[in-house]
Amino acid sequence: MLTKNNVIKTISTFPDNFTLDELIDKLIFMDKVERGLEQSLANNVYSEEEAKKRLSKWLK
């Protein structure tokens, strides 16, 4: 989960002028990383073999 402090820290690293799209892209990226870390800590992950098996359908 994103925290207000993390968002504020991120915004403070942006240049003085930036687009809304740049900010939204960064926030979406941060949210995805946070969710992935939470899933990893909860051991809610796929093994490399299971991931390859699941992706094989898409990579044909």
pLDDT value of residue 58: 86
Torsion of CA 1, 15, 25, 46, to 10 degrees: -50
Secondary structure (3-state) at 44 = coil
What pLDDT, on the 0 to 100 scale, is given for residue 59? Answer: 83
| pLDDT digit string, tens, across residues 40-49 | 999 999 999 9
10-30 residues labelled b (16+ CB within 10 A) or e (exposed) = eeeeeeeeeeeeeeeebeeee
Task: Check: pTM over 0.75? Answer yes or no.
Answer: no
